[in-house]
Amino acid sequence: MKKIALFADVQNLYYTVRQIHGCHFNYGALWSEVSARGEIVEAYAYAIERGDAKQQQFQQILRNLGFTVKLKPYIQRSDGSAKGDWDVGITIDVLGAAARVDEVVLASGDGDFDLLLERVRAGGAEACVYGVPGLTAQSLIRAATRYVPIEGSLLLRG
């Protein structure tokens, strides 16, 4: 059975799904789709900690599905801008897992990960990307072994 590591960029998924589809991403459907192709041996969801109850409830749902939830504090800068970026953390975790699995699944449309997926593939693992059509970087799609558009059953409507 194929060993799979799953990585979900929660912030990217939240904003891109909302912008294009006007709803939320269905993490349960993602888990079902991916686990139908093999055994998920590692799964991480990267999120920003704002400390509100609704967000903590969502994080518990992710844990119940099987994700390890990694949190970074939400930082409001003095100029009004905000910081909460997991790109380096995701990259380190993906590179660590790639040697132990047959496939890396990245749920994110962020083009900053294109070089990462090229490295994953060069090391012999497959690299699958789930991203929102129109908001997933073409360089990321090209770097992946397979691209799955986020639509249909991957959306939580109503």
| Residue 23: strand, helix, or coil | coil
Q: What's the predicted TM-score (pTM) here?
A: 0.95
At residue 77 the predicted structure's pLDDT band, cuts being 50, 70 and 90, is: confident
Task: Kindly report the average pLDDT of the chain as a whole number.
Answer: 95
Which CATH entry fits the domain spanning 3-156: 3.90.105.10, 3.40.50.1010, 2.20.25.90, 1.10.1370.30?
3.40.50.1010
Give the rounded percent of residues in the chain with a pLDDT score beyond 70.
97
Digit-coded pLDDT (tens) for 17-29: 999 999 999 999 9
Digit-coded pLDDT (tens) for 43-56: 999 999 888 899 99
Other CB atoms within 10 Å distance of the CB of residue 111: 16
d(CA 39, CA 89): 23
Cα 53 vs. chain centroid, distance in angstroms? 22
At residue 57 the predicted structure's pLDDT band, cuts being 50, 70 and 90, is: very high
At residue 148 the predicted structure's pLDDT band, cuts being 50, 70 and 90, is: very high
Mean pLDDT in residue range 137-155: 98
**What is the residue extent of each domain of the chain?**
3-156
* Beta-sheet pairing, 39-49 with 3-9: parallel
Mean pLDDT in residue range 132-145: 98
